[in-house]
Amino acid sequence: MIDDLELRRRLHAAAATPAGPRRDDLAAADAVIDRRRTERWHRAAAVAVVACVALVVVVVPVLLGGAGRSGDEGGGDAAGGHSFPLPPRGSLADDPDYLAAVRELDWPNRPVPDSADRQVVFAGETPAGRVALVVGPAEGQLFGQWYTGPAAAAPQDLVPDSSYLTVDPAESTALAVGQPGSGVDGGGGALIVIAQPGDQVLVSPRAEIATDGTVGRDYQPVDTVDGVAVVALDAVVPGADGARYRVVHDGVVSESRGVFPAFGAGEVFDPPDLVPLRPGGDPDPAPEAIDQALRQVSGPTGLGEETLDPVLLWSGVVPGPDGGDADVVVLALTLPSGAVATSTAFADMAADGSGTAGGCGVGTHPAGTAVADVVAAAACSVPGTSNAAELVSYVVTAPPGHARVELLRSGGAPGAAQTLEDGAAVVRDVESASTARVTGPGLPDREEPITRITDALGEGE
């Protein structure tokens, strides 16, 4: 079982791996996520494994400083021809002593570039404190390391971000930093996007779910200096990872990317206690499953639990590939637009509090949909603790009166069918299904698209 740092390392490595045409970093990371869409937990630590930063953009001018001076102030010529072709940028770019000290900072990830070959790409003050990006060559590639610290931090007070980063000088890179209580007016953070001089940067802080249930994004241009954007954020919402940005080069959108947050942005693991709305639901669902289901909506939208008002529609178990069971929950959450999102997630926890948890996707319903009347259908892929392959189960829940569910293939071909017990069923089907049809005496047939973890809210354009 890989730990959180190794998963993060693989995500960054996948995001930077060339494969024909240039790929979006998060799309490349999906190759890893699809195989390992889980989070590892240890409840004794009382901290979620991955915590991200919701980006709520405030148009606040930030002094970035110039592009720095050419020469050795950002680092010497990198070995093997792998170097960053631009001088340091940021408000500290003209401080050679500071840059020299930053190049010598601890490099926590391997491989470790020689300090003499490292270059400072960015060093400067942001609304969330001082931030620096250092790159260096090793094993034929250019690697990067982010460092963060409080305002006016000395180099030795900068903390290395634990994430693993490979760098392509021709492409942008970005980081979201901040903790509750930091930043503008005592709260917030910052987004740093490093692109090419002359490029325009547009930011979408989060996914928006409209009244009709469709998911979209609003990209707004932000100020840049020498191709660097430092955007002030007026909120830091735990668990959120919905921000995306675009780079416009020569009038054309050349990149559309998600934002990897600083790995140190932690949050307390404290999901709400919820009682199932529908009969037959397990009254004691795994809190890790509830947390995962909340994250699938709060992350992309940047909305907190108090805004989403979660309702537990149903909870139960799905089989795991090793012969055991995993807890599963189905939440209904109401968005500010009035639209309703259904989020299904699972958790397979050991007695010592360790285990795995993951999402099964999010469905959306238009405003005016009564939570009690929602039909939800999701494909949950539960990974094994050994070498067993993931096991897919279809979780379906419907309002009272519906007695049966039939899975439909793409194109409408019939699949597995099963009786709904107390308004829910966990269906196994060896072939892939795209739709669930629920029926009941005297009720019209209802069809609901089946969600999967790949149905992420954050990708809406």
**Dihedral pair phi/psi, residue 296, rounded to 5°:** -60, -25
3-state SS class at 371 = helix
- The secondary structure of residue 117, as a DSSP letter, is G
> Which amino acid is residue 147, in one-letter code?
Y
Count CA atoms within 13 Å of residue 165 on its CB side.
27
Q: Is the pLDDT of residue 211 over 60?
A: yes
Q: Give the C-alpha separation, 220 to 311, whole Å.
A: 33
- For tokens 């970005």, the residue is 174
Task: Determine the pLDDT at residue 13.
Answer: 43
Q: What is the mean pLDDT of residues 302-315?
A: 89
Q: What is the mean pLDDT of residues 106-121?
A: 94
Residue 236 clears pLDDT 70, i.e. is over it: no
Whole-prediction pTM value?
0.75
pLDDT of residue 188: 64
120: pLDDT strictly greater than 80: yes
pLDDT at 313 over 50: yes
Distance of CA 23 to CAs 14, 29, 200, 227, 258, Å?
Answer: 10, 10, 20, 21, 12
User: What is the CB neighbour count within 10 angstroms for residue 216?
Assistant: 11
Higher pLDDT, 310 or 30: 310
Residue 386 has pLDDT above 50, yes or no: yes
Sheet arrangement for strand 443-449: 414-419, 404-408, 435-440, 443-449
Residues 239-285 have pLDDT tens digits of 445 678 999 999 999 999 887 667 654 454 678 889 999 988 888 89
Distance CA(352)–CA(77), nearest Å, equals 51
Q: What is the pLDDT of residues 324-357, one digit of tens each?
A: 889 999 999 999 999 999 999 999 988 888 888 9
pLDDT bracket for residue 411 (50, 70, 90): confident
Average pLDDT, the chain: 80
Judged against a pLDDT cut of 60, whether residue 427 lies above it is answered with yes
pLDDT at 74: 55
